[in-house]
Amino acid sequence: MSEPSIGEAVDLEALVHHASQITSDLQRLWQEALDDTRRSEVGEQLRARWSAVVTAINEASKALTERLESRGLDPRLPELLPFSAQVATFSLDPTPEQALRQAQMGLLVAFDLLSMALGELLREEGDGEQPNESRDWDPSAFAIARERAIMVSNLAGFVSQAEANLLGDARIVASATPPALARLSMARAAWSHGDAEAACVHLHVGARLLIGDLLSVDSSALPVDIAEHLLAQHGQSNLGALLKLLQRSVETVVTGAETDLAVVTVLVPNLLMALDDLALRPPVELLRKAFADVVDSKPQ
């Protein structure tokens, strides 16, 4: 029998989901602080599950290296993290080979970030300078590990897509979470960290994706000023008014100016509710009328 080879995970996002679930359980147990034995068992599960995520990312990277070598391409990345000398050469309109390199570097930076969070979570009791210190976790460490793992999973998808564009035969497993809902989830995460401006950016992208999904059109086909279209169709639209404010706020962020902190702080929770409502009870007819030009021009 040859040396065991693990190979790529069937679905990296599912592994992250599996690991995140136990993280939530452990967090709850830790907060309840009732049973040391049970805590220890869940702690072992935590290590095993996150180890599987880390192994899967390494295996994916190894497999990509082999595929690139077999096509005569150099799999080596030009320098070590954080790729300071390379970033100036990055392009937002790259060639397929360049896109793959950029995606690989992005994945490694995200993986480094995840590793730091996991290092904190998976540290054994008694590690560090004080061998007998009582093991305790900052509750935010769990959330940080989950969010960084999602980031890694998303970037792994980017790498697969870039590989498919370059080599034509990558194995791509799409995310189980629709992009619009993933953006709303990221907006919630940013909001929970007190970062209203980041939440605004995610909401801006999420709203477009969601409306695109509801109308079954690509969100890039929607007009830039979606708020104006909604208001033109329905002057009293609360969603239209909120989206208009959102667009202005994001434009301010893009120009590098200070946003009105009070406005974005009130805006974010209201928009989160409005977009949840839009997903749950979509006013499809109103949306169809508001974006009639896009819907009507959609190829049948």
Partner 1 sequence: MSGPRRNRLGLARERTPIVRFGDVDIASSAEAINTREGLDVLPEAQLRLKLSTTPDSADYLAPVVIAMREGGLEHELFQGSVLTAVLEGEYAVLKCAGGQLLVESLMGRFAAAFMTAPEIAHMAARAAGLDEDRIVIPALEDLPLQTFEVLTGLEGIEIDTPIQLGSVRLLPAGTAEPLAAHIDTGEETDLVEEFLGARAYALSLVTETVAYRAESDALAEIDWALAWLSVHLRYGLVRLPDGRAQPFSRVAARAQPRRGPLVGGRALQTGGRWIHAASSQAALTVAGQDALQSSAIPNSPSSSLRQAVLAARRAADDLDPIQRIGALWEAIEFLVRGIGAPTPLARAQRKALRLKLIDVLPPEHHERVDRLIALINEAPLMDKLRLLIERDSIPFSAGDFELLKSLREVRNEALHGGDPTAGPKPEELEHAVALLSRIIFHTAERTARGDGGDRG
Q: Is 183 in the site for partner 1 (CB under 8 A)?
A: no
Smallest separation (angstroms) from partner 1 to the CB of 7: 5
Q: CB-wise, 15 or 243, nearer to partner 1?
A: 15
Q: CB-wise, 44 or 225, nearer to partner 1?
A: 44
Q: Which of 11, 228, 260, 276 binds partner 1 (CB under 8 A)?
A: 11
Residue ranges in the chain assigned as alpha helix (H): 12-32, 36-70, 84-87, 96-122, 139-167, 179-192, 196-215, 226-233, 238-255, 261-280, 284-290, 292-296
Q: Is 39 in the site for partner 1 (CB under 8 A)?
A: no
C-alpha count within 13 angstroms, C-beta hemisphere, residue 90: 14
Q: Which of 173, 181, 263, 295 binds partner 1 (CB under 8 A)?
A: 173
Q: Which of 132, 281, 285, 297 binds partner 1 (CB under 8 A)?
A: 281
Q: Is 58 in the site for partner 1 (CB under 8 A)?
A: no
Nearest-angstrom CA–CA distance, 164 and 160: 6
Which tokens go with 23?
Answer: 């993280």
Q: Give the C-alpha distances (Å, rounded to integers) separating 178 from 55, 207, 231, 236.
A: 26, 13, 26, 29
Contact window for partner 1 (CB under 8 A) among 5-13, 93-101, 227-235, 263-271: 5-13
The answer to whether 190 and 90 have CB atoms below 8 angstroms apart is: no
Q: CB-wise, 176 or 266, nearer to partner 1?
A: 176
Smallest separation (angstroms) from partner 1 to the CB of 80: 27
Nearest-angstrom CA–CA distance, 108 and 240: 39
The answer to whether 270 and 205 have CB atoms below 8 angstroms apart is: no
C-alpha count within 13 angstroms, C-beta hemisphere, residue 21: 7
Contact window for partner 1 (CB under 8 A) among 10-18, 81-89, 91-99, 239-247: 10-18
Q: Which of 176, 266, 273, 292 binds partner 1 (CB under 8 A)?
A: 176
Contact window for partner 1 (CB under 8 A) among 47-55, 69-77, 130-138, 241-249: 47-55
Q: Is 273 in the site for partner 1 (CB under 8 A)?
A: no
Nearest-angstrom CA–CA distance, 260 and 57: 40
Q: Is 270 in the site for partner 1 (CB under 8 A)?
A: no
Q: Is 228 in the site for partner 1 (CB under 8 A)?
A: no
Nearest-angstrom CA–CA distance, 285 and 34: 53
Number of residues that bind partner 1 (CB under 8 A): 34
Which 8-state DSSP code applies to residue 225? -
Residues in contact with partner 1 by the rule CB under 8 A: 1-2, 4-11, 13-15, 17-18, 21-22, 44-45, 47-49, 51-52, 55-56, 171, 173-177, 280-281
